[in-house]
Every structure is written in structure tokens, then in C-alpha cells.
Structure 1
Amino acid sequence: MRKVVNRALIFILAIALIIPLVLVKGETVKADTKKGITVKTTVGFNDKYKIGYYTPINISIKNDYKDIQGTVEVKVPTSENKYDSYLKNISIQKGAEKIVTINVPVKQAFLKYEVSIKDGSEEVYSEEIKVGNSTNQTVKFIGILSDDFDSLTYLNKIPAPKGVTLSTELIKLDENKFPDYLQVLETFDIIVINNFDSSKLSKEAYENLKSWVKLGGTLVIGTGTNYNKTLSLFKDDFIKGQPGELTKVNTTKIYSIATNGDNNNPVSVENLNIQLDRSNTNIQEGNSKLLQTVNIGTGNVAIAGFDFGLKPFVGWANNSSFGEKIFSMINPNFVNSAKFDNGYMNTYFSVSELVNNLMNKKANINMYLIVLIIYIVLVAPTSYFVLKKLDKREFMWITVPCIAIVFGVVVYFLGSGTRLSDVVANNANIINMDSKGAATKNTYVGIFTPKKMTVEVSSKEGQKLESVDNPNYNGNADNAKKNELDTLIREDKGTIEFKNKSVLATRTVKIPSSNISIGKIDADVSIEGDEIKGTIKNSTSFDFEYCYVITPKSYYILGAVKKGDSVKLDKKTGDYNGDINQLTYENKIYKIGSPNASDEDRYNGSLFRMSYSESMQTTRIKDISIIAITKDNISKPLVVNGKDSVVKDRTIIRMPLQLNFKNGDTIQYPTGFVNYRVVEMSTTNYDPYGEVFYGAGTPEIVYDIDKNMIVSELKLDSSSTSSNTGASNAAFEVYDYKQNKYVSATSDSFSGDDVKKYLSNDNEFKIKISVSNNGGPVQIPEISVKGKVK
């Protein structure tokens, strides 16, 4: 009997050893990988790229080997033994040359990626390239589209908050180098188009440019004598306006802006008179508008009436300072806060949480624990003592397997309700809408399968799906090996193939941004005191399960609002410190930080945060928004392994409210609506994302109050600094402009004639915070003001 068992074991071991060899035999066999093929590879833009973002890898191929019909692949290590493959098809004849661009993520590690070229299944070229440890997030990228790049190199400074040091990389772009992939375009902080035929950009590049602006990008367009070239792309309603005549304008504003008013000499510029819809004028001389800005989504588009590449700007000693000043006019957030986060790094963790939480078929862990404890008690001590008492201990070899079988059946039926029977796509839709109903949708999808299997995902509408992968490299970079394929991303087809991931693993993809028509949210609201009064009507196509109005300091829970119904804003639900973390984690709207939080709370709270995270530059909420969540299906099913997936949708809609702070000749800005600047860091450290100070020092903050008002009341609200951020270690002083010095703040409210001495001629209010090392971080306080129109 023993011989039979031993032979069986040897046979099983032999089979186990042979199977891997059989499997390997079917894989690609490497050929002479450099024979007759010359490849030059560059990473990023002029070898510049950012960790945590996507970047293009440009592969220039000269083929003197043979006709090749196959693929070009970049292997990106994900762990010590796995890699993701970014793949494009290629057809190149012998003697020909071709450039292939593949967009890949730059991981948080210094790694060796691999470039591979295959003819069919035969690998004809492979080489490792080094990627990583390049540019960090304090370096800002300015992309320049111009036929005369050298004339614009003075635009090399992006403004920053006081005490924050940034450096800038100018990137020369053209119609061939312009990113056709939104995740690559997100690397750029500013894009300048000047003296360039913009119609040369592809349709895909233009759509990405528009999406980039809507998500917070800053686009600067120079016109002047070359306006026909520069504006040739913008024929849709992305920028609404009408160009007028070219005129010569003598202005003192150019030199004055660059020198902070020290030089007011006039200069002549060729200026195009453009009438832009809903624009803000940044620079004006008489009736001539020299620079205008249009807010689109959370981004900004600036159009200058002049050409940035002509005199007086070229060769001018102060041209770099002028560029920095107009950038701060176009996008005040450059000065008011520094954005060091990025969508790619933050999105992965937020999206993984979202799509996992939506999967509500979860096992009851407590029940499993009870069953397991009963099983352990029965299978060992109970069986032993019962059989011992019956003097039948030899039956243990029968009772233990029988008990195991019984409990196996119990566990099977307990888990049957949590198992999937079909492939399920959990969709988290984030819709940003304006007051007219124009809306953009981003969709993040988690694919879940009933068993371990290879999953190929594609879009029925032909959209190119994007992989949402871990931005970090999991393992020792020195030991990285590209042995096992984890995920295959076919860039030219837009499909993604996940290789044999476990049932518990999340397969996450992103559907590119798209415009969507769902109706609109009608709001008839106004400010009364510190509260918002009015009516919200759901004129969309969907029922709202939850609806809120969120301001920088208060929140209104409106409940469910069915389509066609209206709800009144009578009284705010509560106040908070202005930080989104308090709304979602600390039992204000949600309590996802609590171990007792419901699955519904966790998911909606994560979705709530995600609706802000795509556009927020800090954790502080700066505007008034209507937030609505619906469970109605909006997305179409993805194709998974040739079949439509089961769709489970959860959608959040966010619409910023534009309120008029004037009522007749009265003006009132509630707490949180006055912009501020950090003008002196002292010896403290400043975190612009959380807008808090760390360490001992005396930082100074200036509040820019509306210059067109006569302030009668001003209140300094430091409640946010004395809550969870532990600012009991902070004392405030207020600058007295009559005495030209700081004085102790005996009150946080100022009114009547008393308030005048604390305001400059430009309505600036300045404070100094004395921070000690005895407590936690100190949050910048907010102010509210009331007054009359000048």
C-alpha cells in the first residue's frame, strides 16, 4: 500500500514540474534583439517629466532587419515580479523609420522600464531604460505653442505664495509633441499659444485641451497681428466672443504692472479689440481691453489683445516680471495657494475606495467568526471529551471529517448570497455642471468577477479606456523583475486586459471625460445675513437620493428631491470649520471616520470628497455648491470578455452657485468669501494644501477686501483654528495703518470708525499670528465683512 502511495506522490510531483515548462513553451522566445534595428528612446518632454504623472515615451525606430508586423511595448514594473504592459501595434517595412509614442505612468521609485518590439510573437528588440527620480511636484511646467519659441522664453516664472519656492520648466510644443492623452496634459500648469496655427492640433488634442482647462488648467492665448493663426482652432463655443479691429494703443499699464508702479512710461502695442462673453478684464487702457480672462469649469482662459512675442516684450529687462504678474492676474490661486497634489496619485486611492464600497454584497464577518469558533470547539475538545466518555475515542478519525463536511456546507450556504453570478461594473460618476446645465462627466469603473479569470474590458462606444493603477512601486526597486504580466493596456485600441487577478482584486478603469445632457438644477437663492434663502428645483432627468448646499462655513441638508420637485432653503443645518474632512469624517454630513459608519455613509462620503478633489487645491471649501447624489443608472455597460457587464451606478452632481453679494447699495461677504494671501512666513512651515502653519513663528496674512465697498463691519473668525487643529497656541495681532504698526487684537469684531484704521487705502486687512511650539498646527482664520457701495 505504501509503495502505491509513494508512486502516486512521485507522479503528482512530476506533473507539477512539467506543467510550468509546458506553459512557458508557449511564450515568446527572444531572438537576436538588436540585429538590424536601431532604436532611440526619450522619456518625457526634453527628458523632463514628473513623478506621479503620466509621461510620453517616444520610441524612434530605424528598421534595417526585415518587414515587421507586430507590436511596440513598454513594460512598467508594478512589484518585484510583475509588470504592466503598455502596447501599440506597429507595421514597419525594412529600410523604413517610424516614431511610436506610448504614454506611461512615472512610479514613485527609480526603475528600469523595458522597451520591446515584436514581429508577431518573435521579439526582435528589447532594451531597458531608466525612469524615475526626476522632477518633483514643486517644479511647474509651462507648455509653449509658438512658431517663435525663443521670443517667449521670458515667460519662465509662475507666481507662488509667500515663502514657497518653485522652479519652472519651459516645454516647447508643436502639433506633433502636443499630448493626445489627458493624463499627460495634466503635467502642465500653464499652456501658452502665441503666433501658432492652432488649427494644426488634432481633434483629440483639442478635446483634451478643453477638458484640461475645465479641470483647472490655465490657458493663455496671445493674438495681436497673428490673431487669425492663433484663434483658428477655436471655432466652437468653448470660447464665446467676436474679434474686432486691430488698433495701436498707447498704454502705461505694461511697464507699471511689471515694476509695481515704479515705471509709468507709455508704450505702444498692436491690440485686437475682442468682445468676450462673461469675461473679466485684467488690463484695460481707456476703452481698449488688453487682457481678459474667462472662467471655464475650474480653469481659466486668458486672451491678450497683443502678441507676447513682439516688442515691447522681447528684449525688455522686466519682461519676466511682467509675465509673472499677468499669470497671477489670470489665476489668483497661484498666489493664494500652492497645488502640490495631482490627479493621478490621489485618484488611485480615492477611486479604489469608491468602487469597492459600492460592492454591497459583503460577507457577514461576525457570522463567519461565530461559525469558526463553534467548529473549533466541536472538532477538538467537544468531540474528544464526548468520545472519551463513551470510550469510543478511536472514532475521532470519523467524527472530525464529518464535522468538517457539515461546517463546509454551512459556510457554503452562508457565502452563497455574497457571491457574484455575473461580471459587475461598479460605476462612480462625477458630474460637474454650471447654472445653464452644461455638464461634464467623469466615470471611474471597478470590475468585479465571480471567479479568478482574465478580463478584457472595452467600451461599446469606442472610447479609449484609461487604467487607474497604483502610483507606487510595491517592492525593492533593485530587485525589480518583469516576469509576470499583470495588466495589458492597448493604447491604440483603448482596451485593457487584466491577467488572472483574484476575485478580491479590484480591476479599475476610467472612462474619458465627456459632455452630458441631463437637464439642470434651478436655483433661486440669495444671501440674507449669514444664511442662504431661496428655492432649489431638480430639473434634471434623475431623482436625487440626497441633496445638499455647501458653503465655506455652513451646510444645508435638503434630503431627497425627486425630479421635477423643489425644496426650500429655510435654515442652515449646521456650521463647520471650512475643511472638507470635518464634513465627511466628523459626523457633520457623513461619519466615514467612525468604525460604526454604515456602508451607505462610507460610499456617499467618499463620493462627496471625490466631487471636490478633482478641482480643489486645498482641503478648504471655497465656494457655494449644490451637491446631489442619485442611484439612477447613467452609464452604459462596458464590454467585458465580449459581453455587456451588469451596471451598478452611483452618481454625484456638483453645481457651484453664483451669488450676488450686493443688495442695493449694501454689500456683504459672509465668512470664507474674502481671499487672503500669506505675505510673510517668518520661521513657520506652511502647508498650502491644508492652509495651516507648523512650528514657532509669526506669519503674516493679508485679506483682500472688495475695493468697491466702504467697510462698516468686519469680523475675524478664528473658530477653525481652535477646533481639531489645536490652535490654542496662537495669538493674533492686527495691523493699524494709522499707527503703522501691529497692535494686540482685543476683539475679533471691528465696526464703525474703529474699522477704518485697520484697512489700507486698497481695503487690505492684515494680521500677524504668533505661533508657538506648544500645540498643533494653526489654521488660517477667515473674515466676514459688511458695508456700502462706494
Structure 2
Amino acid sequence: MRKHIRGIVLVLLILLLPCLVWAEDEPENDIEITLNWGFNGKAGNSDACLPVTATLTNHGEAFEGQLEMEVPVAGNQESDLGESLTMIGNDMDYTRSKVCVWKKNIALAAGETRQETFYLTFPWANGTVQAYLKDGSRTVQTASLSKNFSANQDIALIGVIGAQPEDVQQLDGIQISEETTKGMGDIFVSVYQMDPSEIPDSWKDLGQLDALLIGPEAAISGEQWVTLHRWQQEGGILLTVEDGQDFFEVFENFLNGESRPTFFDRLSEKWGYVVYTGYDTSQIPVRKRPSLIKYFILILFYACLAGPGLYLILKKQGKRKYFWSGVTLLSVLFLGIVALLGTGTRLTAPVLTMRRMYTQQDHIWGETLQLGVQAPYNNTYQLYLDKSYHLTMPSESGYSAENVNTNITDKVEIYEKEDCYKLTFSRLPVFAGNAFFLNRDHAVSPEEEIQIHASGDNEHIEGRWKNPTGYRIENAILVLTNRIVFLGDLEPGEEGTFSEKIHSYGNGGLEKILRKYLDLKDTEYPDYAVNAVTEQIWDAQRKEIEGVCLLGTISNSDTSFEMNSGYEVDGITQFYMPVDISWQKEEGTIFCPNGEVLASVESGSATAGTNLMYGQDAVLDYDLSGLGEITGIKFFKPEYDDPKYFESFRGQVAFYCWSSGEYETISKWEKVFDRTELEKYLSADGTLRVRYQVADDMDVTDKNCTLPCLQITGKVVNPDA
């Protein structure tokens, strides 16, 4: 009996042997992670990338693994498959919950302490970041960090480089009173003293700062100056403090100067916080829509042929027994025809949509790229991007990250490898859009720059151009506010001359004039091309209110930013460059072809500079002090406008007489007024005040009014004469 029991026990032990698990002592967790917001924990402008610094301290042996930073983002709706399928959905109205994971390889020596900085974007109001240090699939250490961004609304974060602590004591903590902050309440200055080594590689990562002051002792490299100047070109406020100047005094002079509105516009972004880095790439056409009429006719023909048509033919020949065989063959045939017709509109792989902008300014060549990524399936897929670009992923959401299940929601992983970014998309529905922003910059010599040397009067601009680059700039245009000059194509490696007319347009006339003069015969999507140029012009005019810029479309740009993926790329590449035009084409004469940009609104319902009037009357002051002795002003209606939404001004024009203090009605205002006629209407400081009153029969309730355009001619005044 005992032998049987022993045998049974032995058999059981043998059977249980594979189930045994050898237990080892877990290694002690000797790595510590501390997370902190960049700029010493001070967060300013929360519409920009926020630096998050992970400090890793290794108290044990050498370690190699991976550091992951996870940012969950809550969307404003969980899922809408119908909208995600359209390829033209509005990303700003449709955002899904997702989790974005940034990954880096980490190697820590024994006893080493290292800092890794990630520039991340977060949803509105508050954000959370979770850090994971992993050894393979095993999590070694975790840490988390949360912040309420709404607390930043009354803080102006000012960076300072090249100053001693005592130099900024007076600046730190000053209060900017509510009377000067455009309704934002009191603003308090918080100073962060930066070391030059903290200047990031990309201007995009400086967006956290509301202003940056550079002292005379700052040791800044050439590449760092490129970053700083590009940040300034993109709207950053960069102030230079010279020897002997006080930091507080320089900042105070800036607040009291002409550029102060840019500072408060920057602060106001915190009140309407949405992380969005540019254009909506979902509007870029990828395929032309299938012709419904063509398919309707084909299906109708099939129904007639496979039904009564085939039946009658077979009946006439006495072969009705072949009817169902014939229907089957016709079905296969028509299915093949439909498949063949659909090859031009079918998508079988992920598609990238881009809107790229090249800029040339201050001897710097800048490149920004809005990138949209979507796939016609919900399988996991990868995308490889060039590491020479700086990559940002906007959160696209104004919602907090609470209650986001990171185990089931949409997931985007960004793995920073040595030579590229590896992006992995998983758990996404069909055609779910993902937006990215890429940028890079480098300095260029004058010999490498596109050049425009030109002069102009009130009617024409003429000059020379040179394009030493390898890019072909199609439909090049010179843009002034409310004016446009068409130059044609600037071929790569060539130069030429031009003499072109200055065209005028009203608030609704830009699209009309573009459709008339742009060469779109070889453009696959002309409507999109016109819309893209229209947006580019409006953006340029916001930058160059009184200046001139060269715009164009680059037709031979490459797509090398995509590496080892082979996906289709659709979109547009554009060019922007400020241009200096001499408006003294004739010696001793000053021309201003768009004098309306010199206007400011004294009273009434109008927008200065844009010629837009949206009420019954308005009074505008035109500052002509910079044009010497005024010899003539021409008032005229714009060449192009949209009568559906805007009506050219009709009504009464009156000039203000500074000596009598009364307005004098001008019976015929569409004319050139000479010096004699204007003399009593110009103030001592060169201001012309004009009152516009619309005619009684003008409808300004359903449409706006476009005010007259102005051409101004002046004579150079010799102060020694």
C-alpha cells in the first residue's frame, strides 16, 4: 500500500514539475526620476510647447533602457466614424481622445545623474504627463506631473540672458495695470534667468516665453542666434539690452512704444487657449470625388442589360436556360469595370497631407511644415520622419486629460531614434486624422538668397529678380495691403527683369483677381490652389501691414522628410520673403500706392488699413507725415471686389478743415486732389481727416462696405533748404 502511495506521489510530482516557477529576488529599484516643468517650473504662454525635464539619478549599477513620456488628451467626442471617413472633416470640431507617447533610449552609468528635456503639448486648462523608465517590457520606475494652466493667465514670463540677479530685481514681479492690458486684468511679470545653453534647437520651443531680453554679456553662438531670430520672425518678442542700459528701462520703453500691441496680443492667447500650429491639413485634396452621374448611368445600364435586356435577347434566341449564367457573367464584368473606374479614387495605404512654407528673411532660410497623417484602415502602421526636423504634435483639444483610458484609446508613439523619428499609430479608426508640425532653419549667405531689387510709383513696380536656389517659384506675386503685382514664374538658377501694374482689390475681391491672373492650367486642384494663395496673402498682410513681400508656390519641392515609408504625399509648398521697394522711383518724389494703410479710426464703424466699413459712417485719420510735402491724393474704388458680400462705397465724403473746425463735403471725390485743394485740409503734422457717410440706398445691414482706395504722391523736403 505504501509503495502505491509513493508511486502516486512521485507521478504527481513529475506532472507538477513543468508548473514550477523559479522565483528570483527582484533587483532593487536604484533609479530615481524627478519631473519638473521647464524654465525652473515657471509656465507662461500655455499655447506653446511646454518643456518637461526628467532628472534621472542612478544610485546603482549601469543601466540601459527606454524613457517614455505619456500625455493623455481628452477629445470632445469619443467617436464619429462617419465624419472620420470623409477625408475633409474639420479637425478643430472633431477630436478624439488619444494618448501620445514620446520615447528615448537611455544609458546611465553607475552613479550618473542626467536630465532629459521633452517639449510637449497639452490640452487646455490642465495637463498630465506620466513618465515610465523601462528595461525591455519591464517598468523600472515611474513618475507623474500635473499642472493647471489656467493659473498662468495673469503671468507674463520674461526670459533674460546675460544678466546678473541684481540687474533684474526691479523687473521681476512688476505689475502691468489693467488699464493697459486690453481688458485682461492686471498682469504680473515673472522673470526667468536663462543660461545660453538653455536656448533650444528650435524656435518652436521658445514659445513658452512672452518676451526675451538679451544682455550685452550673453555668449550666444551663431546657430543660437538663428533660433532666436526665427522665433522673432514667427512673432516672438526679442529685446536687446546694450551696454549701459537697464533691463527694466528697456522693457518699460518697449511697453510704452509702438510695438506694445504685439505683447498684449501674445498674452491674450492664454485666454482663448487652443494648441493649434497652423492650417487644417484635412482640407488638402487627395483624390477627386467619384462622378456620381457616371456610376449612376453605369448601374442603370447594368440593371437594364442584366434584367429585361438579357432576358429578351435569350428568349428571342430560345436560350432562356442560360439566363442566370448570363447574369452571373455580366455581374462579374460590371464589377471589374467598377473596380477599374475606382482606381483613380481608391486609397489602400496611409496618406500624408502637407502644407509647407519656406521663408527667407534676415539671411535665414526657414522651413515649416504642417503634416496630416491618416490611413484607410485601422491596422497599426508606422511612419519614419527625418530627424533633422524638429517635430511637434499638437494636442488639438481644449479638454482636460481626466478619465482617458490610455489602454484602449487612440495611441500615437513617437520614438526618437538616432537617425529618424519612428511614429507608430495604433487603435485608430479608419481615416482618423493626426496632425504634426515640423520645422528647421539654417543661415544663408547673400549669394544663396533670392533677390528682388525694385522701385515703384503709384501704378507700377519694375526691377530685377535673381533666383540662385534650385526651387521653381510659380505664380510669384508682390503683395502690399490691398494691392498685388503678378510677376510670373521665377525659374531656378536664373534671373530676369519685370515691369508690372499694381492692381487694387477690396475685402471680397482677392479671390476674383487671383482666378483671373494666376496660371492654373496645369493645376490638378485649382480651387484649392486659389484658396491656399488667398490664405497666404492674408497671413502675409498681417505681418507686413505697411511693407511688401514676395509670395509664390514652389512646384519642385521634395518629400525627403518622409523616410523609408513610401506613402503618398499630397499638398502644397509655398514661399515667403519680405521685400524692400524704393518708392522714390522719380528723384525727389515719394509714392504711396496704398495710402489706406496709413489710416487710423477716429470714430465710427471701420477697420483701419483694410478699408472695411460696417456701419453708416466713419471718420478716418490718414497720417501723411512720412511722405514729405503732399502734392496729390487720388481717391478711387478698387478694381476687384465681391458685390455679394461687399459693396464699394457710395455716399458722401467730407474733409475736415483744421482752421475752421468744420467738415466740408466733397461733391466729386473720385479724382486726384492736388496740393492747392488739399492745403487747408492737412494739419500741421500732416494728418488728413476724412468722414465717410454711406448713401441712404446702400444696404449695410446684410453686407459690408469697402471704402475708397488712396494713392498719395509727395515731394521730398530738404531740411536744409
Deviation at 1:709, TM superposition (A): 0.6
Indicate conservation of the 8 Å contact 2:160/2:213, yes or no: yes
Q: Distance in 1 between matches of 2:109 and 2:495?
A: 65
Name the SS of the counterpart of 2:99 in structure 1. strand
- Return 5+ residue gaps in structure 2 as ranges: 1-25, 79-96
Determine if the alignment matches structure 1 residue 499 to structure 2 residue 418: no
1:119 corresponding residue in structure 2 = 134
- Structure 1 residue aligned with 2:413: 488
Residue 587 of structure 1 corresponds to which residue in structure 2?
515
AA of the residue aligned to 2:658: Y
Following TM superposition, by how much is the alpha carbon of 1:658 offset from its aligned partner in structure 2, in angstroms? 1.5
Q: State the alpha-carbon separation in 1 of the partners of residues 40 and 377 from structure 2.
A: 42
SS in 1 for 2:510: helix
Is the 2:53–2:115 Cα contact (8 Å) retained in structure 1? Answer: yes
Aligned to 2:338: 411
Q: Which amino acid aligns with 2:510?
A: Q
Q: State the alpha-carbon separation in 2 of the partners of residues 529 and 159 from structure 1.
A: 43
* Structure 2 counterpart SS, 1:639: coil
Counterpart Cα distance in 2 of 1:745 and 1:338: 42
Q: CA deviation at 1:527?
A: 1.8
What is the CA–CA distance in structure 2 between the aligned matches of 1:161 and 1:756, rounded to whole Å? 37
CA contact 2:412–2:425 (8 Å) conserved in 1: yes
Q: Does 1:223 align with 2:153?
A: no
Q: Is 1:702 equivalent to 2:621 in the alignment?
A: yes
Q: Secondary structure at the match of 2:591?
A: strand
After superposition, give the CA deviation of every residue in 1:667-715 in whole Å (9 maximum; x if it has no partner): 221124753444x567x6x87897856678x765433323461112234
Cα contact 2:453–2:464 (8 A) shared by 1: yes
- Cα deviation for residue 499 of structure 1 reads 0.9
> Per the alignment, do residues 770 and 437 of structure 1 end up closer, same or farther by CA in structure 2, a change over 3 Å counting?
same
Q: After superposition, what is the alpha-carbon deviation per residue over 1:72-98, rounded to whole angstroms, capped at 9, x for unaligned?
A: 313232634432223444556899876
| Cα drift, residue 447 of structure 1 | 6.0
**TM-score of the aligned structures, taking structure 1 as reference length:** 0.65
Residues 102/708 of structure 1: CA separation in 2 closer, same or farther (3 Å cut): same
1:602 to 527, 531, 537: 527
State, as a whole percentage, how many aligned pairs show the same letter: 16
1:729–1:775: 8 Å Cα contact kept in structure 2? no
Q: CA deviation at 1:169?
A: 5.4
Per-residue CA deviations over 1:746-784 (Å, capped at 9, x if unaligned) read 554643234233333222333456699735455676543
SS of the residue 2:169 aligns to: helix
Check whether the contact 2:451–2:467 (CA below 8 A) recurs between aligned residues: yes
Q: Which residue of 2 aligns with 1:308?
A: 247
Gap change, CA 1:168 and 1:701, over 3 Å in 2: farther
Query: How many Å separate the matches in 2 of 1:345 and 1:607?
Result: 22
Q: Please name the residue that 1:431 is paired with.
A: 358
Per the TM alignment, residue 223 of structure 1 is displaced from its structure 2 partner at its CA by 1.9
Letter in 1 for 2:67: T
1:62–1:654: structure 2 CA closer, same or farther, 3 Å change rule? closer
Distance in 2 of aligned mates of 1:373 and 1:665: 74
Q: How does 1:289-688 map to 2 (within 5 A)?
A: 306-309=245-248, 313=249, 322-326=253-257, 328=258, 331=259, 334=262, 347-353=277-283, 356-357=284-285, 359=286, 362=288, 364-366=290-292, 369-370=295-296, 373-374=299-300, 377=303, 404-418=331-345, 428-433=355-360, 439-445=365-371, 454-459=380-385, 462-467=387-392, 469=394, 471-472=396-397, 480-482=404-406, 483-490=408-415, 495-500=421-426, 504=431, 509-515=436-442, 519-536=448-465, 538-563=467-492, 569-572=498-501, 574-577=503-506, 582-583=510-511, 587-589=515-517, 599-609=524-534, 611-612=536-537, 616-617=541-542, 622-634=546-558, 636=560, 638-641=562-565, 651-662=573-584, 663-672=586-595, 674-678=597-601
Note if 1:144 corresponds to 2:68: no
Computing the radius of gyration from Cα coordinates, the structure with the larger value is 2
| Cα displacement (A) at 1:221 | 1.0
Taking a change above 3 Å as real, the CA distance of residues 782 and 556 of structure 1, as seen in their structure-2 partners, is closer
Say if 1:383 and 1:396, in contact at 8 Å, map to a contact too: no
Q: Deviations over 1:326-349 (max 9, x none)?
A: 4x2xx4874999997899966443
Bigger mean CA deviation after superposition, 372-381 or 669-678: 372-381
Partner SS, residue 582 of structure 2 = coil
The answer as to whether partners of 1:713 and 1:751 remain within 8 angstroms in 2 is yes
Could you tell me whether the CA contact under 8 Å between 2:474 and 2:489 is conserved in 1? yes
1:55 matched to 2:75: no
Would the aligned equivalents of 2:158 and 2:209 in 1 still touch at CA under 8 Å?
Answer: yes
For the structure 1 residues 130 and 538, does the alpha-carbon distance in structure 2 shift closer, same or farther, using more than 3 Å as the test?
closer
- Look up the equivalent residue of 1:172 and give its one-letter code: V
Specify every segment of 5 or more residues in structure 1 that has no aligned partner in the other structure, as ranges.
1-30, 225-269, 271-305, 314-318
- Trace 1:121-136 onto structure 2 (pairs within 5 A): 121-123=137-139, 124-125=141-142, 127=144, 129=146, 133=150
Aligned with 2:256: secondary structure? Answer: helix
Partner residue in 1 for 2:213: 192
Tell me, in whole angstroms, the C-alpha distance in 1 between the residues paired with 2:546 and 2:571. 28
Please name the residue that 1:296 is paired with. none
Q: 1:756 to 1:524 in 2, by over 3 A?
A: same
Paired with 1:83 and 1:90, the residues of 2 have a C-alpha distance of: 22
What whole-Å deviation, never above 9, does each CA across 1:452-486 have from its counterpart, x for those lacking one?
Answer: 664544455x414414546235x897664332343
Query: Counterpart of 1:786?
Result: 713
Task: After TM superposition, give the deviation of residue 433 of structure 1 in Å.
Answer: 3.1
Higher RCO by CA contacts (8 Å cutoff, separation 6 or greater): 2
Specify the code of the residue in structure 2 equivalent to 1:703.
Answer: Y
2:367 maps to amino acid: K
2:101 is aligned with 1:101:
no
Partner Cα separation in structure 1 for residue 327 and residue 343 of structure 2? 24
Distance, in Å, in 2 between the alignment partners of 1:505 and 1:377 is: 36
Letter in 1 for 2:442: N
Of 205, 214, 220, the match for 2:233: 214
Distance 2:278 2:461 in 1: 36
Partner SS for 1:152 = coil
For the residues of structure 2 that align with 1:98 and 1:591, how far apart are their CA atoms? Answer: 56
Q: 1:139 to 1:128 in 2, by over 3 A?
A: closer
Cα gap change, 1:183 to 1:131, in 2 (>3 Å): farther
Q: CA deviation at 1:431?
A: 2.5
Whether contact under 8 Å (2:121, 2:393) holds in the other structure is no
Aligned CA-pair RMSD: 5.4
CA offsets 1:172-211 (integer angstroms, 9 cap, x no match): 231276555432323545321236x422x68875442132
- State the Cα deviation string for residues 127-177 of structure 1 (Å, max 9, x = none): 4735555657x9865433333332334887699999776865534231276
1:761 counterpart SS class: coil
Partner residue, 2:68: 72
The residue identity in structure 1 corresponding to 2:337 is V
Count of residue pairs the alignment pairs up? 646
Partner AA of 2:550 in structure 1: I
Amino acid aligned to 1:786: T
Q: How far did residue 116 of structure 1 move?
A: 3.1
Retained in 1: the 8 A contact 2:484–2:502? yes
SS in 1 for 2:553: strand
Change (3 A) 1:527 1:338: farther
1:101 and 1:646 mapped to 2: Cα distance?
33
What secondary structure, in the 3-state scheme, does the structure 2 residue paired with 1:212 have? Answer: helix
**Alpha carbons 1:445, 1:510 under 8 Å: kept:** yes
Query: C-alpha separation between the residues in 2 aligned to 1:454 and 1:37?
Result: 33
